[in-house]
Structure formats: C-alpha cells, structure tokens
Amino acid sequence: MEMVITFPGGARVDASFDGFTVPTDQPSIGGGEGSAPTPFSVFLSSIGTCAGIYVLGFCRQRRLPTEGIQIVERIHPDPTGMVGQIDLEIQVPPSFPANYYDSLIRSANLCAVKKHLEHPPRFNVYTRVNEYTMGNSSL
C-alpha cells in the first residue's frame, strides 16, 4: 500500500490512498483552523473503528442485531503525557445475548491496528528529490 501525504494549506495535512483522502488539521491553538481531526486523533480513532469492524463481523456471522451496540474508547495518559492505556468498552443493549459478551471481547482483540501496536513496525524515514514537483512543465 502507498499513501501520498500532501499539504493543502494552513496546518492541514492530508493522506490520499486507494481513491480516498483523509484530511487532518490542527486546532486553532496549534496554528490550524480545526477543520478536520488531528493526525493523532485519526490514529486513535483507527483503534476503535478497527475493533468495531471485528465486532460487526462477529454479529453479522451470527445474525445478531447491531442496533444499540457501540464501542466507547477511552484514552488514559501516563505520567509523561503519552498514551498509557486505552480502554475499549463494548456497550450492548439489554436484549443482547449475555453468552456472547466474552466472544465480542475476543473479536475486538483481533483488531489489526491493536496487533500492530503490540508488535510495532520499523520506521525508515528518508528524503528523496521528486523531479516531478520541481516545476518541470514538460511532464
């Protein structure tokens, strides 16, 4: 997979991939306009939405209704201000069968984002001159 990160103006930074664009911005206190979530908020939301897709899949496989199900993600900082703990509370309606509660938790734990955080990738950050952005109008 390849993503192209662009700078459309102000403090906005967008990620484009597979025909989609994920916009980000900073709040006004951070020099932005608050027109989109911050990159870090998008990252954090990927954890809950990833768990959610596994919960949704579990319910669909068993033809269980998903109305009234939601996941509340709570972020707890450590003493340094970094994320120290993330809670994912799967809220179900009273009618949801109790015998599936543990299975919902196991499903949410299959989240690929969570697994990548538990076993993080290596990062290779480098610079390369892009000839196409150097004002070459013949391309």
Binned at pLDDT 50, 70 and 90, residue 135 comes out as low
Q: Average per-residue pLDDT in the chain?
A: 94
Each residue's pLDDT tens digit, 73-129: 999 999 999 999 999 999 999 999 999 999 999 999 999 999 999 999 999 999 999
Class of domain 4-118: alpha beta
How far, in whole angstroms, is CA 22 from its chain's centroid?
Answer: 11
Half-sphere exposure for 103 (CA within 13 Å, toward CB): 12
Q: Give yes or no for a contact between 56 and 71, defined as CB atoms under 8 angstroms apart.
A: no
Q: Give yes or no for a contact between 3 and 16, defined as CB atoms under 8 angstroms apart.
A: yes
pLDDT of residue 35: 97
Least trusted range by pLDDT, from 6-10, 95-99, 107-111, 135-139:
135-139
From residue 134, how far is each of 30, 56, 122, 130 by CA, in Å? 30, 46, 30, 7
